[in-house]
Structure 1
Amino acid sequence: MKLPEAVEENLSFLLAELDGQLALLGVYFRDPQTETAQRLVQRAGYAQNLSERVRKGCLTGMQRGKGGAARDLHLKGVDTIARNLETTARLARRAVRHAEDVERNKLLRADAYLTPVKLVRDTVARVPDALRSRDSHMAAGIGDTARLDAFYDRMFRTYTRDMRETRHTEDLSHALLTASAVHRMGEALRGIGEALLSINIGQTVQFERYFTLRSVLSGMAEDDADITLKPLAETRSGSAISGVRMAGGKGGTVDAVFKDGARKKVKQERVGVKSWNSVYPGLAPKILSYEKRGDSAALLIEHLNGETFEDIVLGGTDSELGAAQKALHKTLRDIWQRTRADTPAEMKAMEQLARRMPDVYRLHPSFAVGPQRIQGAGIESFDALVAAAARREAALPAPLSVWIHGDFNLDNVIYDPHEKKIRLIDLHRSCYMDYVQDVSVFMVSNYRLQVLDAATRARIAGVACAMHAMAAKFARSQGDTGFEFRLALGLARSFASSTRFVLDPGHASRMFLRSRYILERLLAVPEGGETRFKLPMRVLFDG
């Protein structure tokens, strides 16, 4: 992809300027002279000005909107390269300033810097070829900081040993800062390498993620040119999810989903997928590959055709939504019936809510109100209501267990209209549990959609209430007389805890007040009267 002329020209000038500054730095360490140091320091504005020109050229190119997302990513990558080149120049000047502050040149050990400075200079010289050829192996080599890390470790040990053995700690402190500046050039080179890799594979990527991706695709794609990444999501737990398209056999393509993150989370996802494929085959995606690297891990899983339930609720036609609901309700009933076990289950909704309230209060401090009195009437704090409800909940476990999703939000449900089939994703919390857990999460994930027009809100309410009606019918068929009371607990939890993901104060307040209303209603029920409890669902979910 050809760069705008102004960008290409100024990037070339910047590379040449940096090469000259690194050459001067090498001359200085070969023979430390103040005159050489001053020549380098006096070039302070050159690299910065050229970097700014590259940035302006890249921004102008993106504003023109030609070439789409791939070109924008390319220009962002070039801007990142330019900024890191300028950072390298700044670190070169910083290194020479600290070196000049070392009064006893012998303590600096200047000759030890010749090899790392030459390494940085040679690495920078490879940047144009790596950018032009889109060679990911070359990009990875540019970002490899191992030798600079080893240099710094060696100098750190040397200088700190000298500090213990001499009184010249001030000189040695400046020497250590000199080594640190040269070492930090490695961070800039790593940033350049990551920018080059991002340009090559079509998505912003860091080294760790790139190498994990290469590992997980081992044997599936020979070259990075065969791979296209498209960002799909980033989970709240820190995992990143990308769509992957690879060149397949016979000229075709293979679509998959690449998910990486903390090893524990990814492992839970893998276990969840395997469990679903054992308990209810065909609902979860297939695992194509799994790799772990240190504290990180990655999954390559089957790409599922269809749309998320959220997209259907917000953008589908009435007939599309009706078909999706019919398939979802049928699938859930079938799962519950096939996995039903006569083992009591404790949802512990109030325990979950109590753990999440500090996060809610951090985002919405106005919700944290203590007990009050109005016209002589006492009003309990929200936390007191949660604690009281927890005591009631402990005495009312579900009489049965089923296999649940565990995080049954709208965007974790996929409907394929061609196959008329429901599929599930994000399965790391799946387990045997009270089915009310999934029902309540699903219902509130509808309500929390931040869409305010009346027609869409009515549609959202309809989806939530239809889920309630289906689940209530199942409860009656199972003789589960405490369903409505437990559902109220689950709804109270989800209404309140979900506000930590809602910035809009009005919408968050409506959700929080619904939670409080539910808690007050269920706590007003005399003990022993739980089976007769019901909430006005349509009123709760309208508006």
Structure 2
Amino acid sequence: MARPDAVGENMSFLLAELDGQLTRLVSYMQDPGAETAMQLVQRAGYSNNLSARVRKACLAGMMRSKQPEAARLRLQGIDTIARNLDLISRLGRRAVEHAERAERQKLLRTDTYVAPVKLVRKTIARIPEAMETSDSKLAVEIGKSRGQLGVFHDRLFRTYTRDMQGTKHVEDLAHGLLTLNEVFRMGEALSGISEALLSINIGQVVQFDRYFTLRSVLGGGKRDEEVRLQPLAETRSGSAISSVNLRNAKGETVAAVFKDGDRRKVKQERVGVKSWNSVYPGLAPEILSYERHGKSAALLIEHLEGETFEDIVLGGSDDALARAQKALHKTVGDIWRQTRTDEPSEMKSMAQLSGRMKDVYRLHHRFAQGRKSVNGTKIPSFDDLIAMAARREEKIIAPFSVYIHGDFNLDNVIYDAVGKKIRFIDLHRSRYMDYVQDVSVFMVSNYRLQVLDRGTRARISRVATDMHAMAGKFARRHKDPTFEYRLALGLARSFASSTRFVVDKGHARRMILRARFILESALAVPEGKEARFKLPMGMLFSD
């Protein structure tokens, strides 16, 4: 797709201007002089204005209605390239300013900077070709220049610090270190340009290191254009989830899901999927490929047909929702029965909540209120309630364990209406534990949906209370007398901790007040009488 004229023209001018500036920077490093330095510093406005023009044109293009996603991503990438080109210009000027402050410039060994600055200039000259041809290999080569500048940095850094020992000219060498840092940071800018080019090519924002993981997990296609991703979601931990179409051995197009991110979290996801396929086959997607690269890793997993439970709750018909609920309750109950062990389990919901309250208070400062007194009656703070409930929770242990999802939110459950099957995704927290953990998370993930119309809120309430009814029936059949009490603590945890994901102050306040009400109600129960405790679920999940 052709770029708008204003973008292409100003990008060409910006690249030409930067080439001139880097040429002057090479000349300065070969023979430092105030006149060359002044010529370079005086060009500041040129590159800045051209970068601003490119970004303005990109923004105008992105604001146009009915803009294809690929075109929008391309303009976003070009904007990033322009920002980093302007950054390289500023770094070059600052390098000269630091060098000029040194009284004894010979100590700086400026001639050693010639090769790395020439490398930066040569690398930037390859950007137009990389943009026009969508050549990911060339984009990768641009990013690799950061490593070469890193080698230069480390070598000269050792030289400067060695020279600092036993010399009176430490200040001059300090200016040398600052000069070195500015040139080294040009590599970071080139890495940012490389990432922008790769993101344009594959159809999703991607980090430089993760690109290699992507290539590995997809089998290293022979041609760069074979790697095309369609973004599906972004997790709070920074993992990216995308759909990708591949060709199998028969030449048929096969849909798959690509997930990459922090190596530890992706590994946990892989272990979770494999565990589910061992414990309860058919529930989790199959792993097609797994690769590690540095600190990142990626999974290629089976594409699951169907809709998330969240989509069904918010947009499905009443009949579709009823069928999905029936399948979910049947599947969950069957999992609990098949994986049940006699090993007692602790949920430790108050310990979980205590660890998350700093994040809650960071977003909702008003929730962090201390103890109060009204007409002589002392009212404990929310943190006090958590501490008191934690002591009560230590004495109430689930009589058995089951294998749980661990992050049983609505958007982690998929229902295939054609096959009438429930499938689970995002399984990095799966383990044997108290089933109340999943029940409480599922119920509150309904309530926290930020939908205001009365009809949808009523549906949300029914889905949550229906799950409670199903779980309560299971508890009675399996002689679990403290189910309701443990569930109360789990709900309090989920209501309160979920507010860190809810910006709407009114909705967050309703959730924290519910958490407080539940904790106060649970703490009012005499010790030893927990089995008699009941919560007004209909009231809690209605607005």
Match for residue 260 of structure 2?
Answer: 260
**Distance (Å, rounded) in 2 between the aligned partners of 1:303 and 1:507:** 34
The answer to whether structure 1 residue 160 and structure 2 residue 158 are counterparts is no
Moved more, 461-470 or 208-217: 208-217
* Conserved? CA contact 1:84–1:189, under 8 Å: yes
Q: CA deviation at 1:133?
A: 0.8
Over 3 Å counting, the alpha-carbon distance change for 1:283 and 1:36 in structure 2 is same
Match for residue 194 of structure 2?
Answer: 193
* Conserved? CA contact 2:212–2:293, under 8 Å: no
Q: CA deviation at 1:126?
A: 0.7
Equivalent AA in structure 2 for residue 397 of structure 1: I
**Distance (Å, rounded) in 2 between the aligned partners of 1:273 and 1:421:** 17
Compute the TM-score of the two structures, normalised by the length of structure 2: 0.95
**Distance (Å, rounded) in 1 between the aligned partners of 2:406 and 2:48:** 52
Match for residue 420 of structure 1?
Answer: 420
Equivalent AA in structure 2 for residue 259 of structure 1: K
Over 3 Å counting, the alpha-carbon distance change for 1:25 and 1:413 in structure 2 is same
Match for residue 319 of structure 1?
Answer: 319
Match for residue 215 of structure 1?
Answer: 216
Q: Which runs of 5+ in 2 are unaligned?
A: none
Q: CA deviation at 1:309?
A: 0.6
Match for residue 499 of structure 2?
Answer: 499
SS of residue in 1 equivalent to 2:153? helix
Moved more, 437-446 or 358-367: 358-367
Equivalent AA in structure 2 for residue 346 of structure 1: E
Moved more, 503-512 or 69-78: 503-512
Match for residue 184 of structure 1?
Answer: 185
Over 3 Å counting, the alpha-carbon distance change for 1:34 and 1:435 in structure 2 is same
Q: CA deviation at 1:161?
A: 1.9
Over 3 Å counting, the alpha-carbon distance change for 1:345 and 1:132 in structure 2 is same
Q: CA deviation at 1:414?
A: 0.6
SS of residue in 1 equivalent to 2:343? coil
**Distance (Å, rounded) in 2 between the aligned partners of 1:91 and 1:378:** 60
Match for residue 392 of structure 2?
Answer: 392
**Distance (Å, rounded) in 1 between the aligned partners of 2:380 and 2:11:** 65
The answer to whether structure 1 residue 449 and structure 2 residue 443 are counterparts is no
Among all aligned residue pairs of Structure 1 and Structure 2, give the percentage whose two residues are the same amino acid: 69
Q: Deviations over 1:2-58 (max 9, x none)?
A: 111221111111111111111122222222233222222222221112112211221
Q: CA deviation at 1:247?
A: 4.5
Moved more, 363-372 or 146-155: 363-372
Q: CA deviation at 1:67?
A: 4.2
* Conserved? CA contact 1:273–1:284, under 8 Å: yes
**Distance (Å, rounded) in 1 between the aligned partners of 2:340 and 2:109:** 74
Moved more, 430-439 or 277-286: 430-439
Match for residue 470 of structure 2?
Answer: 470
Over 3 Å counting, the alpha-carbon distance change for 1:391 and 1:250 in structure 2 is same
**Distance (Å, rounded) in 2 between the aligned partners of 1:37 and 1:368:** 55
* Conserved? CA contact 1:228–1:246, under 8 Å: no
Over 3 Å counting, the alpha-carbon distance change for 1:151 and 1:538 in structure 2 is same
**Distance (Å, rounded) in 2 between the aligned partners of 1:352 and 1:92:** 49
Over 3 Å counting, the alpha-carbon distance change for 1:48 and 1:247 in structure 2 is farther
SS of residue in 2 equivalent to 1:242? strand
Match for residue 21 of structure 1?
Answer: 21
Moved more, 488-497 or 324-333: 488-497
Q: Deviations over 1:431-469 (max 9, x none)?
A: 111111111111111111111111111110000111111
Moved more, 491-500 or 63-72: 63-72
Equivalent AA in structure 2 for residue 125 of structure 1: A
Over 3 Å counting, the alpha-carbon distance change for 1:349 and 1:35 in structure 2 is closer
Match for residue 341 of structure 1?
Answer: 341
**Distance (Å, rounded) in 1 between the aligned partners of 2:83 and 2:385:** 54
Over 3 Å counting, the alpha-carbon distance change for 1:160 and 1:384 in structure 2 is closer
The answer to whether structure 1 residue 290 and structure 2 residue 303 are counterparts is no
Q: Deviations over 1:55-93 (max 9, x none)?
A: 122122222235411001111111211222222222222
Q: CA deviation at 1:411?
A: 0.9
SS of residue in 2 equivalent to 1:65? coil
How many residues of Structure 1 are paired with residues of Structure 2 in the alignment?
Answer: 542
Over 3 Å counting, the alpha-carbon distance change for 1:522 and 1:86 in structure 2 is closer
Moved more, 315-324 or 163-172: 163-172
SS of residue in 2 equivalent to 1:429? coil
Q: Which runs of 5+ in 1 are unaligned?
A: none
The answer to whether structure 1 residue 530 and structure 2 residue 539 are counterparts is no
Q: Deviations over 1:187-222 (max 9, x none)?
A: 121111111111111111110121121122225x33
Equivalent AA in structure 2 for residue 539 of structure 1: M
Q: CA deviation at 1:526?
A: 2.4
Match for residue 241 of structure 1?
Answer: 241
Q: Deviations over 1:162-209 (max 9, x none)?
A: 222432223222223222222221112111111111111111111012
Over 3 Å counting, the alpha-carbon distance change for 1:242 and 1:345 in structure 2 is same
Q: Deviations over 1:282-336 (max 9, x none)?
A: 0001111112233332222112111111111111111110110000001011111
Moved more, 37-46 or 272-281: 37-46
**Distance (Å, rounded) in 1 between the aligned partners of 2:178 and 2:370:** 52
Over 3 Å counting, the alpha-carbon distance change for 1:357 and 1:97 in structure 2 is closer
**Distance (Å, rounded) in 2 between the aligned partners of 1:95 and 1:362:** 39
Match for residue 81 of structure 2?
Answer: 81
Over 3 Å counting, the alpha-carbon distance change for 1:11 and 1:394 in structure 2 is same
* Conserved? CA contact 1:261–1:296, under 8 Å: yes
* Conserved? CA contact 1:227–1:247, under 8 Å: no
* Conserved? CA contact 2:137–2:224, under 8 Å: no
SS of residue in 2 equivalent to 1:143? helix
The answer to whether structure 1 residue 139 and structure 2 residue 134 are counterparts is no
Q: Deviations over 1:126-168 (max 9, x none)?
A: 1111111111111011111122111111221222222224322
* Conserved? CA contact 2:209–2:294, under 8 Å: no
User: Which contiguous aligned blocks of 4+ residues in structure 1 show a shift greater than 6 angstroms?
Assistant: none
Moved more, 267-276 or 39-48: 39-48
Match for residue 91 of structure 1?
Answer: 91
**Distance (Å, rounded) in 1 between the aligned partners of 2:120 and 2:471:** 65
* Conserved? CA contact 1:458–1:542, under 8 Å: yes
SS of residue in 1 equivalent to 2:165? helix
SS of residue in 1 equivalent to 2:228? strand
* Conserved? CA contact 2:18–2:85, under 8 Å: yes
Over 3 Å counting, the alpha-carbon distance change for 1:289 and 1:92 in structure 2 is same
**Distance (Å, rounded) in 1 between the aligned partners of 2:175 and 2:358:** 45
